[in-house]
Structure 1
């Protein structure tokens, strides 16, 4: 009998690849065999950013086609999604056979797949391979998807996922109220809801024995009360640099931060998918000038089409294309984090004890913002004006507000301790990981 062999299959976007890679490093460190499946396109992107420091893991990498041609736009997530759904299920058994052929003693014994890759777990089930889902967003976001049938039955949403009226709902007795306008699938459209999300959740219900979450019971207890299959195994903070990054990290920002006093720098980053309109970009640039504080601003490659306004000085700031975010957030010079509230950034911010200024763009980010501001109270939201813009004066005002609030800083540090205790010896998330691994073996 060989050792358990995990096959990890994330949907090829940064926000899903990153936490799955973190989890794979945990498994590899514990002595399990791990194979990580990239699309050919995402593997090339990732491989371009790799360094010797990154490439010392025991994880094996394999690739498969996403069904698109070289000319196709991979930033069109729906296009990638539907192409993979149409081409991959038929090719997948052969790929499994090839991977198993490389090490016949240690064949694949368990698959870990993210949202949108449910077809893999279904095929794996037919081949007698165990399967678990890894949910890359918050457990509360998962809870809202899990409750779709009930939300339809109760008349809260229609069969296309659209709220029947604007109202606040509570998914579980000890979860916070949620505005129906913040349901995470709304920004993705009804085609995604009916053709992808609903069938995906049905596959999860049928074949996913565990739904692993990069979260902790102490962070979202209400969401975890909904199903015994929801298993918090986070926060996943295994590796310092982002070994799954699709972009090259600019480490000069760490030397720059070294030159600044403690809690003096405003860190600004909106993740790997959010796109900012030119008018809003101008307001942000002028707001960073207006606050007259040092700032580190990430403008990722491909999202740098906006021209800086003529009045923008930027003399107190450093603008970079991508950073080793965990190292940045843990740097003593960072005072607060202006964030899009994506779940990976939220978890990394929580584990750094840094206060947030919340600027959500779409999907689950509005729900994450409500946890940051209303439940954990470790941040403040940035408010739009009547034209839907966050003005420069609002940015300056809220930065001053969050930096001047000792209570937010104290709660941030307390929440950091609570979150990290979950993955220490005797922590709840560590015990859950042991439970999962016992099942997987």
Structure 2
């Protein structure tokens, strides 16, 4: 894919963008990739994050410093600056950060003040012109930042790194409540499907973006975060979306300000990675036959109870194919016993598979030995997998992952869905059966390669996403 340095023709870039997001891996990664794409086009970017994530991001940038490509006007690190605001949460206070409700409440309480103070300081009359913030780009979950931007006379953009259909879902919230389809806390009241797009499957009551199965409190908080962003979608100067037009040709017409600019890929630059990647998996992949490896990753937050985790481990053994499995230390209480059992049966000895705590995912998915991707259907993982033409095996856990699963299987037809038994367990036999089916399904693989080609075209010179991002940059300086 052509992500080479470029500039907007005839435009002298003087914009300085402030990018804001929730300090969590799934939000930081795509916004950091956006920062470096804007740097490609000559825009100066400040990435403001919470102190609890800053050290992890700083570590990644230090690791990549020598490999950063140069662009006209200086190295990337001179165009993209990462700064933090104090949040009262140190990176070692993991228990408090894992309490999602408390974490979201803390961020919502302290972040607005620091955003406003940062802009005031940057935009003092005596500041150099290129230091002054001219636009704020805010993730949908921190859309309130555009109210601050508007108060200070700045342009504002919403950034959405989720599937096509999600914008329509959020915009329909007032109607869903008024029609009695959901209540004021987002709980479904009717088993009624909602059309989001003529090109995508209908939305079922189980697929709402704020869905947290078994956690009513988190669903309520998630719904409020999403709902609070709805008016800003309608009033922002731009809505920048991490997808490409071919995934839903109707999406760019939802609002006159919508611009599809994806897929956002790192391409060897800092990617907002908050975990240390185990690069030994790449040399292991080099030794595997083409299309043979089952790549397994459930993102930065997916967890399993002891029974389910053990069943997953046994399922990977039963598949009988080489696998690369990302196992975070906090993914389950049974990490040690289940993975030790696999290692005793050949994993990490190159006979059965390889287990790592975190992987360089884009490089893994681009590797010719990878045959399929067992995923939680987080949008970052999904768009990376589709951009590399890898068939997907879907095991969603929460939020928009359920609707992404529906789009993967019933819309774009690039994957299959794992289904639980009557006790809610995804059995080892179900895992083996679906992996086998996915790897021999020529239609799904053909669709996956088609989606990959469309992604490449969107990012190429003159492609829809490239033109949209250039349009955004040109309008920044008007």
TM-score, shorter chain, exceeding 0.5: yes
Q: How does the TM-score come out when normalised to structure 1? A: 0.94
Cα pair 2:207 2:403 within 8 Å, conserved: yes
Equivalent-residue separation in structure 2 for 1:2 and 1:326 (angstroms): 30
1:408–1:269 Cα change, 3 Å: same
Aligned-pair CA distance for 1:238: 4.3
Cα pair 1:232 1:429 within 8 Å, conserved: yes
Quote the residue 2:86 is aligned against. 65
1:95–1:254 Cα change, 3 Å: same
Tell whether 2:137 aligns with 1:112: yes
Cα pair 1:219 1:419 within 8 Å, conserved: no
Cα pair 1:287 1:393 within 8 Å, conserved: yes
Q: How does the TM-score come out when normalised to structure 2? A: 0.87
Tell whether 2:364 aligns with 1:364: no
1:96–1:345 Cα change, 3 Å: same
Quote the residue 2:434 is aligned against. 398
Quote the residue 1:75 is aligned against. 98
Cα pair 1:291 1:399 within 8 Å, conserved: yes
Tell whether 2:39 aligns with 1:28: yes
What SS class does the counterpart of residue 160 from structure 1 fall into? coil
Deviations 1:35-94 (A, max 9, x none): 111211110222344444247423111110225477561122322222222223233332
Post-superposition, which runs of at least 4 consecutive aligned residues in structure 1 deviate over 6 A? none
Equivalent-residue separation in structure 1 for 2:252 and 2:420 (angstroms): 32
Cα pair 2:140 2:229 within 8 Å, conserved: yes
Aligned-pair CA distance for 1:176: 1.8
Quote the residue 2:200 is aligned against. 175
Cα pair 1:247 1:301 within 8 Å, conserved: no
Cα pair 2:41 2:473 within 8 Å, conserved: no
Quote the residue 1:133 is aligned against. 158
Equivalent-residue separation in structure 1 for 2:26 and 2:440 (angstroms): 31
Which deviates further from its counterpart, 180-189 or 121-130? 180-189
* Count of residue correspondences: 440
Deviations 1:189-230 (A, max 9, x none): 453156433223224434x22111100111122444422222
Unaligned runs of 5+ in 1: none
What SS class does the counterpart of residue 300 from structure 2 fall into? coil
Deviations 1:151-176 (A, max 9, x none): 12222212221111223221244432
What pairs with 1:2-401 in structure 2 (closer than 5 Å)?
3-54=14-65, 56=68, 57-58=76-77, 59-68=80-89, 71=93, 73-100=96-123, 103-106=127-130, 107-187=132-212, 189-192=218-221, 195-206=224-235, 208-240=236-268, 243-303=271-331, 305-306=333-334, 307-309=336-338, 312=342, 313-315=345-347, 316-401=352-437
Deviations 1:384-411 (A, max 9, x none): 0001011001111111101111111111
Unaligned runs of 5+ in 2: 1-11, 69-75
RMSD between aligned alpha carbons? 2.1
Equivalent-residue separation in structure 1 for 2:263 and 2:115 (angstroms): 31
Equivalent-residue separation in structure 1 for 2:324 and 2:310 (angstroms): 16
